[in-house]
Amino acid sequence: MDGKREIIETEITMGTVHSAAIEPYRVRLFVEDEIVRDAEITVGVNHRGIERIMEGLPVEKANSLTEKVCGICSGVHLWNSVLVAEKGLGVEIPERASYIRIIVGELERLHSHLLYLAHGNEVLGHETFSMRLFYIRETVMELLRLIGGNRVQYGVPIIGGIRPRADLDEMKIQRISEGMDFIEEKVEAFAERFTSDPMVMSRITGVCPISRKDALRLHVTGPTLRATGVEFDLRTEMPCYEPFEFDIITQDGGDVRANLLMRVLEIFESIKIIRQALRDLPDGRVVDRNWEMQDTGIVKSYVEAPRGRLYHSYAIEDGRVRGSIIRTPSMSNIGAMQYACIGHHITDAQLGIVQCDPCFTCTDRAIEIIDLNAER
């Protein structure tokens, strides 16, 4: 409670099933006259033991299983899992495959951010904005289906490149390009309407702020961290993103407004990256099959998922996965979600949780917390 007065009157429990939550999680809000004094978020309802299931599976199978970790950022899980294998096996992928992976990754970021904005507006009570954003997002989903064959689990990356069916021909490039124009126009119109709406602005400005200092203290990651003014985007450290020019978007305040605008502006950056990738798409193969399966030690890989830093690691033994660990961005952000609620109205508390873009289904996994001070 950080030295706050310890008067807790009542508890309101929301969940594990609640209409404001896309996924099942449990929030305990400790309130005084509808003002949240403390909060506790509990996950665990959706724990599926994916790492345990992956244990001993052939690498390709295990990789495809990682796509089931999340229904929103499924592709980036597969991408990162494939990167682990490629790093361990020393596989170099064709440049064209790298570009297509980035196109898919950025399309996924678009659909994740649009989903976030739609969900945020739904929690805000603005159904019209929510519906319109889902309408815009539909274009992205169809583009992902066009590339990968599915709307949610497109399974583009494989070890050595991408699946040949996900290669881009002229028709696909044309469709993606048109889609980008459409999304840019619609999101611009939305942003203009959204920021000029006094009722919406009064509901989100200054609500559930996270300071820069607290964001760093709570290990916040991704757009939620950048919304507090910290200029850090893992994409700038990923070699595959080197050919592309894009800005790291930051906002000040870390409140709901900053977080929502953060995603809006990141949508434009993603569109910029996709356009560059389409323009400079190299010719050539999309998959390199000249690699040998061998044993590796534990290999770690980080990528910038739509919600922040995503970590995957495993070792390969006899062509099978051992000791897989996945840490999703929302795991880092849970602390911030709990912290952001404090001092705000109950209705805003859900908004404070949603502003951190929670994805609890990805996050649900067995963890062991070791208290380093316990022995002292």
In this chain, which of 24, 28, 60, 212 binds other proteins, going by CB under 8 A? 28
Segment lying near other proteins (by CB under 8 A), choices 30-38, 73-81, 106-114, 276-284: 30-38
Going by C-alpha positions, the residue among 255, 327, 290 that lies closest to residue 50 is 327
Segment lying near other proteins (by CB under 8 A), choices 88-96, 172-180, 285-293, 347-355: 347-355
In this chain, which of 348, 356, 357, 358 binds other proteins, going by CB under 8 A? 348
Return all residues near 311 (Cβ < 8 A) that are at least 6 apart: 80, 300, 301, 302, 325, 326, 327
Q: How many residues does the chain have?
A: 376
Residue at token pair 């992928």: 93
Q: How far is the CB of 44 from other proteins (least distance, A)?
A: 11
Cα distances (Å, whole numbers) of residue 180 to 107, 126, 133, 174: 9, 25, 15, 10
Judged by beta carbon, residue 21 or residue 267, the one nearer other proteins is 21
Judged by beta carbon, residue 261 or residue 277, the one nearer other proteins is 261
Residue 333 in contact with residue 356, Cβ under 8 Å? yes
203 binds other proteins (CB under 8 A): yes
Segment lying near other proteins (by CB under 8 A), choices 10-18, 182-190, 264-272, 308-316: 10-18
Query: Rounded to 10 degrees, what is the CA torsion of 99, 277, 222, 351?
Result: -120
CA pair distance 132, 295, nearest whole angstrom: 49
69 binds other proteins (CB under 8 A): no
Per-residue x/- track, 262-301, other proteins (CB under 8 A): ----------------------------------------
257 binds other proteins (CB under 8 A): no
Residue 15's CB is within 10 A of a number of other CB atoms, namely: 18
Q: How far is the CB of 52 from other proteins (least distance, A)?
A: 22
In this chain, which of 121, 276, 355, 363 binds other proteins, going by CB under 8 A? 121
- List the structure tokens of 251: 């906002």
Segment lying near other proteins (by CB under 8 A), choices 24-32, 73-81, 86-94, 324-332: 24-32
Near other proteins in 161-200, by CB under 8 A: 197, 199-200
Going by C-alpha positions, the residue among 280, 227, 248 that lies closest to residue 116 is 227
Segment lying near other proteins (by CB under 8 A), choices 14-22, 224-232, 236-244, 359-367: 14-22
Residue 354's CB is within 10 A of a number of other CB atoms, namely: 25
In this chain, which of 2, 3, 5, 128 binds other proteins, going by CB under 8 A? 128
Q: Is 327 helix (H, G, I), strand (E, B) or coil?
A: strand
Residue 227's CB is within 10 A of a number of other CB atoms, namely: 30
How many residues touch other proteins (CB under 8 A)? 40
In this chain, which of 49, 56, 142, 202 binds other proteins, going by CB under 8 A? 202
Judged by beta carbon, residue 202 or residue 211, the one nearer other proteins is 202
Q: Is 162 helix (H, G, I), strand (E, B) or coil?
A: strand
CA pair distance 335, 39, nearest whole angstrom: 10
Going by C-alpha positions, the residue among 45, 43, 46, 9 that lies closest to residue 29 is 9
Segment lying near other proteins (by CB under 8 A), choices 6-14, 152-160, 230-238, 323-331: 6-14
351 binds other proteins (CB under 8 A): yes
CA 166 from centre of chain: 22
| Contact footprint for other proteins (CB under 8 A) | 8-14, 17-20, 28, 30-31, 34, 38, 40, 121-128, 131-132, 135, 197, 199-200, 202-203, 345-351
